[in-house]
Structure 1
Amino acid sequence: MLDERKLAVLRAIVEDYVHTEEPVGSKALVDRHNLGVSSATVRNDMAALEEEGYIAQPHTSAGRIPTDKGYRLFVDRLTTIKPMTVAERRAISAFLEGAVDLDDVVHRTVRLLAQLTRQVAVVQYPTLSRSAVRHVELVTLSPTRLLLVLITSTGRVEQRVVDLGTNVGDDLLGDIRARLNAAVSGRQLSEVQSLVVDLPTSFEATDRSVVAMIISSFLETVVERTEGRIAVSGTANLIPFGQEFHTSLRPVLEALEEQVVLLRLIGEATGPSGFTVRIGHENPYVELSTASVVATGYGPGDEAVANLGVVGPTRMDYPGTMGAVRAVARYVSQILAGE
Structure 2
Amino acid sequence: MSFDLNQRHQQILWATIRQYISTAEPVGSKTLVDGYNLNISPATIRSGFATLEKAGFLYQPHTSAGRIPSDSGYRVYVDRAIQPSPDIGRQVAGALADKLDWDGWSIEAIMRGAVEVLATLSGYITMITLPQNRRLSVKHIQLVRADERKIMAIVVWDSYETQSLIVQLPPDLPTLAEELFDRELQMLSNFLNSKLRGRSLLEVSKLDWSELIGAESHPDNWQCQQYISLMSNSLVDLSRQAKPIHSSQIMIWGISEVLGQPEFSQLQQVKNLLHLLESEQDKLWELIFNPQIHALDRLEAQLDPQQSKIEIRIGAENPLKPMQICTLISTNYHQDSVPVGSVGLLGPKRMLYEDSIALVKSAAKYISTAISQE
**2:350 maps to which of 289, 298, 315:** 315
C-alpha contact 1:159 1:221 (8 A) present in aligned 2? no
Paired position in structure 2 for 1:126 = 131
Matches of 2:104 and 2:155 in 1, distance apart?
21
Is 1:35 matched with 2:38?
A: yes
Matches of 1:228 and 1:295 in 2, distance apart?
16
Moved more, 296-305 or 68-77: 296-305
C-alpha contact 2:311 2:329 (8 A) present in aligned 1? yes
Matches of 2:103 and 2:55 in 1, distance apart?
49
C-alpha contact 2:93 2:366 (8 A) present in aligned 1? no
Aligned length: 316
C-alpha contact 1:140 1:147 (8 A) present in aligned 2? yes
Is 1:291 matched with 2:326?
A: yes
Q: TM-score, normalised by structure 1?
A: 0.78
Runs of 5+ in structure 2 lacking a partner? Answer: 174-180, 206-226
Paired position in structure 1 for 2:221 = none
Helix, strand or coil: the match of 2:26?
coil
Task: List aligned pairs for 1:204-243, cutoff 5 A.
Answer: 214-225=235-246, 227-241=247-261, 243=263
C-alpha contact 1:228 1:263 (8 A) present in aligned 2? yes
Shift of 1:50: 0.7
Shift of 1:292: 1.2
Is 1:103 matched with 2:108?
A: yes
Paired position in structure 1 for 2:211 = none
Runs of 5+ in structure 1 lacking a partner? Answer: 197-205
Is 1:48 matched with 2:45?
A: no
CA RMSD in angstroms comes to 3.7
Is 1:117 matched with 2:122?
A: yes
C-alpha contact 1:84 1:327 (8 A) present in aligned 2? no
Matches of 2:166 and 2:18 in 1, distance apart?
62
Paired position in structure 2 for 1:202 = none
Shift of 1:95: 2.2
Shift of 1:264: 2.1
C-alpha contact 1:148 1:162 (8 A) present in aligned 2? no
Q: If you compute each CA radius of gyration, which structure gives the higher value, 1 or 2?
A: 2
What letter matches 2:108 in structure 1?
D
Matches of 1:235 and 1:285 in 2, distance apart?
18
Task: List aligned pairs for 1:1-339, cutoff 5 A.
Answer: 1-84=4-87, 90-96=94-100, 100-101=104-105, 102-129=107-134, 131=135, 134-135=137-138, 138-143=141-146, 144-151=151-158, 156-164=159-167, 174=188, 214-225=235-246, 227-241=247-261, 243-244=263-264, 247-257=268-278, 258-268=280-290, 270=297, 272-273=306-307, 274-299=309-334, 302-338=337-373
**How big is each residue's C-alpha offset from its partner over 1:161-186, in whole Å with a ceiling of 9 and x where there is no partner?**
22446689857x959x97xx89xx97
Moved more, 324-333 or 275-284: 324-333
Q: TM-score, normalised by structure 2?
A: 0.71
Shift of 1:44: 1.4
What letter matches 1:307 in structure 2?
S
Paired position in structure 2 for 1:199 = none
Matches of 2:142 and 2:259 in 1, distance apart?
49
Relative distance call for 1:211 and 1:248 in structure 2 (3 A) is same
Shift of 1:320: 1.4
Matches of 2:316 and 2:118 in 1, distance apart?
24
Matches of 1:163 and 1:49 in 2, distance apart?
73
What letter matches 1:118 in structure 2?
G
C-alpha contact 1:97 1:335 (8 A) present in aligned 2? no
Helix, strand or coil: the match of 1:248?
helix
Relative distance call for 1:207 and 1:260 in structure 2 (3 A) is same
Shift of 1:224: 4.6
Shift of 1:119: 0.9
**How big is each residue's C-alpha offset from its partner over 1:286-313, in whole Å with a ceiling of 9 and x where there is no partner?**
1111111111222356544321111112
Relative distance call for 1:60 and 1:94 in structure 2 (3 A) is same
